Amino acid sequence: MATLATTVGLPRLLSALSGGEMVDLDRHLDAHGLLPSDRELDANGLLDLVERSGLRGRGGAAFPMATKLGAVRAARGPAIVVANGCESEPISAKDALLLHELPHLVLDGVELAARAVGAAEAIVAFETPNTAARMSLENALSERRAERIDSTRFSLFAAEERFLSGQETALVSQIDGGPPKPTFVPPRPTDRGVGRRPTLIQNVETLANLALVARYGAEWYRELGTDAETGSKLVTLAGAVENPGVYEIEFGTPLGALFAAAGGLSSELAGVLVGGYFGSWLPAAGVGALELSNEALGHHGAALGCGAVVALPARSCPVAETVRVAIYLATETAGQCGPCVHGTAAIARTLHGVAEGKASPTAFADLKRWAEELPGRGACHHPNGLAHFVSTALRTFKPQFADHARHGPCDGCAAEPVLTFPQPSPARP
């Protein structure tokens, strides 16, 4: 793990990192000092600060935090805060890093978020296999209790390790004892979430940012990033770089500078995946100049999402990589919505046929039609994400797909997978 030390003002979130160990309360306070008290910064002051900072959600959707805070404050009933540390995206490692090594920064953010919406209770959620997160959180909470730092009652929640586990309504469902499956909105969790209470769900990176905004102010916060996307972003860089890992960048940093911070590329590239498994494949040519902000990526039909970036080495086969992930995503459907169940399976099956050289004559036309018909027809964005991932692959790697359809697997198909994911457990609810 490293940070992008070449940018002035970075690292921010990762400044207190301590060689892979959990940053304890002493070290955390040495680095950042105490949180402003309720008297120094009350709920209205916090809301104003968040608004002026431009802080947006870091889980993927980049929703303005101030808007969400406002919605929870406007809803009736005792509010509750959920810190979402369910990484879900298999390539991403930033939420795990924050929970394991910087739990105090996250918990500071939770305490502040609870103050902003008047919540007395908060839940910190992570994925069940992430035992390092649980240990750090338990240690950090006991340190904080001894020093009476928080006025919020905290509890921990271990969610199932599923792709959709961290989806907001699926997380609410699990906390309430249900399956890890999204629900139809409205009602949104901000109105009716955990225990039917107004629920503020924020990604743990967003909350860690809040901990800094409250201490150093909105103007300081806006010194990094662009006008529309303020501050820094944690990105997980995987694939053909010398030092893969989590990096803290300023929004708008060129991809080439991120590669350089990671020790450079370790091979020629076949392409780059930006935004994780719901993200976009982009051609390798000229990709170094690509700026990592949603605004700049939007011109290429892409988004930063959770910040996972994969440099696919030239020895790998983009067709095989895409097909494996499409099959994984199809099996990760919650199984509730007909178009998603049937559509994602049809896309995965048809792509697999193409990769094996056994494509039907209508395979490419079918894939194009499904990718157009599917988005927006599920209760969550799962079908949208898969459709986008696959259509950017078909566009970026058109010759490779055509070649597989005619001749079957290539040499690269047998290469070790770069895009990995947990093997689905056989027993499913």
Cα 395 to its chain centre, rounded Å, is 24
> Looking at beta carbons only, is 156 or 346 nearer to other proteins?
346
* Smaller CB separation from other proteins, 209 or 333: 333
How many Cβ atoms from other residues are within 10 Å of residue 129's Cβ? 13
Between 26 and 176, name the residue whose CB sits nearer to other proteins: 176
The half-sphere exposure of 71 on its side-chain side, counting CA atoms within 13 A, is: 19
Rounded to a whole number of angstroms, the minimum distance from the CB of residue 189 to other proteins is 16
In terms of phi and psi (left: phi > 0; alpha: psi -120 to 50; beta: otherwise), the region of 144 is alpha
* Minimum distance from residue 221 beta carbon to other proteins (Å): 36
Q: What residues from 271 to 330 belong to the interface with other proteins (CB under 8 A)?
A: none
Residue numbers 324-343 binding other proteins by CB under 8 A: 336-340, 342-343
Nearest distance in Å: CB 178, other proteins: 13
Q: Are 262 and 282 in contact (CB under 8 A)?
A: no
Subset of residues 162 to 191 that bind other proteins, contact rule: CB under 8 A: 183-184
DSSP letter string over 312-349?
EETTS-HHHHHHHHHHHHHHTS-S--HHHHHHHHHHHH
Of 71 and 341, CB closest to other proteins? 341
Q: Which is nearer to other proteins, 88 or 183 (CB)?
A: 183
CA dist 411 and 98 (Å) reads 39
Q: How far is the CB of 251 from other proteins (least distance, A)?
A: 31
**Least distance in angstroms from the C-beta of 395 to other proteins:** 23
Least gap, CB of 33 to other proteins (angstroms): 47
Query: Is 115 or 388 the residue whose CB approaches other proteins more closely?
Result: 388
CA angle 122, 126, 132 (to 5 degrees): 115
Alpha-carbon distance 248 to 246, whole Å? 7
Contacts of 69 (CB under 8 A, 6+ apart): 46, 47, 50, 113, 116, 117, 200
254: DSSP letter: B
Q: In sequence order, what DSSP letters do the residues of 371-397 get, joined into one string? A: HHHSTT-SSSSHHHHHHHHHHHHHHHT
Residue with tokens 């994780």: 276
Distances (CA, A) of 245 to 2, 93, 94, 263, 322: 7, 8, 9, 11, 22
CB of 340 to other proteins, least distance (A): 7
One symbol per residue from 227 to 246: x for binding other proteins (CB under 8 A), - otherwise; what is it?
--------------------
CB of 338 to other proteins, least distance (A): 4
Instruction: Tell whether residue 385 is a contact of other proteins (CB under 8 A).
Output: no
Question: Closer CB to other proteins, residue 118 or residue 184?
Answer: 184
> Please, are residues 137 and 126 in contact by the beta-carbon 8 Å criterion?
yes
Q: How far is the CB of 171 from other proteins (least distance, A)?
A: 17
Residue 203 phi, psi (nearest 5): -60, 145
In the complex, the smallest distance separating the C-beta of residue 372 from other proteins, rounded to whole angstroms, is 10
Residues in contact with other proteins, counted by CB under 8 A, come to a total of 14
Beta bridge partners of 85: 126
For other proteins, which is the closer residue by CB, 213 or 359?
A: 359
Closest CA to 122 of 132, 108, 105, 136: 108
State which residue, 117 or 334, has the beta carbon closest to other proteins.
334
- Starting from the edge strand earliest in sequence, which strands make up the sheet with 153-159, in order? 153-159, 121-127, 80-85, 199-203
Nearer of residues 369 and 406 to other proteins, judged by Cβ:
369
Binding mask 124-163 for other proteins (x = CB under 8 A): ----------------------------------------
Strand locations in 8-95 (E) = 80-85
Radius of gyration of the chain (CA): 21
Mark residues 353-382: x for contact with other proteins by CB under 8 A, - for none.
--------------------x--xxxx---
Least Å distance, CB 115 to other proteins, is 35
In this complex, which beta carbon is closest to other proteins, that of residue 366 or of residue 403?
Answer: 366
Instruction: Note the residues at the interface with other proteins (CB under 8 A).
Output: 183-184, 336-340, 342-343, 373, 376-379
